[in-house]
Amino acid sequence: MQAELISKDGTQEYFVNMGPQHPSTHGVLRLVLTLDGEIIKRVEPHIGYVHRSIEKMAEFDTYKQIIHLTDRMDYLSAHMNNEAVALLVENALEIEVSDRVKVIRTIMSELTRLASHQLWWGVMGMDMGAITTFLYAFRDREMINDIMEETTGARLTMNYNTPGGVMFDLHPNFQKQVKEFIKIFKTKLPEYDELLSGNIIFTERTKGIGKLSLADAISFGVTGPSGRASGFACDVRKTNPYSAYDRVNFTEILLVEGDAYARYKARIFEMWESISIIDQLIDNIPEGVIMAPMKAIVKLPKGEFYQRVETARGELGVFVVSDGNKTPYRVKFRSPGFSNLSVLDHISRGHKIADLVAIMSTLDLVIPDIDR
C-alpha cells in the first residue's frame, strides 16, 4: 500500500485536513485533501458537522411551522427559502395571493440577494487576503439589514412569509428607505469593481482557476451564479417565473469562461440586475391584502408537490409528499449548496491549495445549507 503511493521520482502523496474549523471553509466543512507537494490530487468533502435534521423535523411540524426552519438552512437567503415553502403550499391549495404580496416578496427576495452577494463579496476578498473588502461590504449590507429589521422585525432569519401572504404589511418608511439605499448603493457598487475586480493580485489568483465546463455544470447540477458563469441558463426566475418576476425586465447573466473570475463577475453583474428589478417595482407596489383567506389548520391534499425558487446560491427545490394530514409525510430540500459543493473535487484537481480557497469562495458555499 505504502509503495503504491510513492511515485517514480520518489515523492509521496499525503493527506491534509482542511477544516472543519478552517476560516476559509465558511463554516464547519471538512475537506480531506490528497496532495502531491502543493498540488491537489483529490478533494473529499466531509459534511454533516451542522446537520440539524431539518427535513425530519419538518415531518412533525405543520406547514406554517416548517417555514421558520427553512430560515436556518441558507441563512443568507432566508427570505427565498421561506418563499419556497409558502409558494408550495399556495400552489398545492390553489390559493391566489394578491399582487401586493407578490411584489413585496420579489422586492424582499432581491434585497436578500443583494445582501447575500455583498457578504459574499466581502468574504471573497478576505479569503484572498484583503480585509478592506469585508468592511466595505458590511457597510452596505447594514443598510439592507436595517430595512429588513424595520419591516419584518428580524435582521437575518426573518420568517416573513406565511402560506397565503406575508406576516406584516410594509413599514411606512419602507419605500423611502429602499429608494435611499438604491441611490447610495448605485454609487458604492462601482467601488467594488475598483477595489477588487480589476486588482492585479485578485485577477491573477482567479483567472483560469477552477474552470467548469458547461457540460460539467449541467451534469453536476451546478446552479445559480456559479452555473451561469459556465453558460448554464438555469435561472428559475426566467425559466419558471414565480411571484412578480414575470412582470419585470432583467437579463439572465450568462458568461462562458466558467473560471473563478467568471463566477465572481456573474455575481457582480447580478447585483446590478437586482438593483434594476427593485427599481422597477419599488414605485408601483399595488394595494391589496397582505394575507389571502386561509384555514386555521393548513392541510395539503394527498400527493406530491414540488416548488423551486432561485436563491442567491442557485436553485432551491422543495419536495413534499403529503398524506392529507396537517403535517407532511416527507420533505426533501434540494439545496443549491450541496450540488455546488459536489463539483469542488472535479474543478480543483491539479490546482494549488491556495487556489482551492479561491474556488471554494467563488462557489459561495453556505455550510448549513449543505447539511440542513
Give min distance, CB of 139 to other proteins, in A: 5
180-187 long-range CB contacts below 8 Å, 24 or more apart?
181/143, 181/144, 181/147, 182/275, 182/278, 182/279, 182/282, 184/140, 184/143, 185/114, 185/140, 185/143, 185/275, 186/275
Nearer to other proteins, 298 or 321 (CB): 298
| Binding interface with other proteins (CB under 8 A) | 61, 64-65, 67-69, 132, 139, 142, 149-154, 157, 159, 162, 167-168, 171, 191, 194-196, 198-201, 203
Give min distance, CB of 32 to other proteins, in A: 34
Contact 158, 82 (CB under 8 A): yes
Nearer to other proteins, 197 or 280 (CB): 197
Query: What is the spatial distance between Cα 133 and Cα 121, in angstroms, rounded to a whole number?
Result: 7
Q: What is the 8-class DSSP label of residue 297?
A: S
Nearer to other proteins, 195 or 214 (CB): 195
**Partners of 305 in the beta sheet?**
320
Give min distance, CB of 64 to other proteins, in A: 6
Give min distance, CB of 262 to other proteins, in A: 18
Q: Is the peptide bond before 20 cis (omega within 30 degrees of 0)?
A: yes
CB atoms within 10 A of CB 169: 14
Nearer to other proteins, 196 or 365 (CB): 196
Which residue is listed with cell 425586465? 249
Give min distance, CB of 95 to other proteins, in A: 17
Query: What is the spatial distance between Cα 270 and Cα 267, in angstroms, rounded to a whole number?
Result: 5
Q: Which of 142, 125, 268 is nearest to 193 (CA)?
A: 268
Nearer to other proteins, 154 or 292 (CB): 154
Query: What is the spatial distance between Cα 349 and Cα 337, in angstroms, rounded to a whole number?
Result: 20
Give min distance, CB of 49 to other proteins, in A: 21
Nearer to other proteins, 46 or 176 (CB): 176
Nearer to other proteins, 166 or 234 (CB): 166
Strand order in the sheet with 303-310: 303-310, 315-322, 330-334
**Helices vs. strands in the chain: H and E counts, helices first:** 16, 8
- Name the grid cell of 92: 398545492
Nearer to other proteins, 140 or 364 (CB): 140
Give min distance, CB of 126 to other proteins, in A: 15
Give min distance, CB of 136 to other proteins, in A: 8
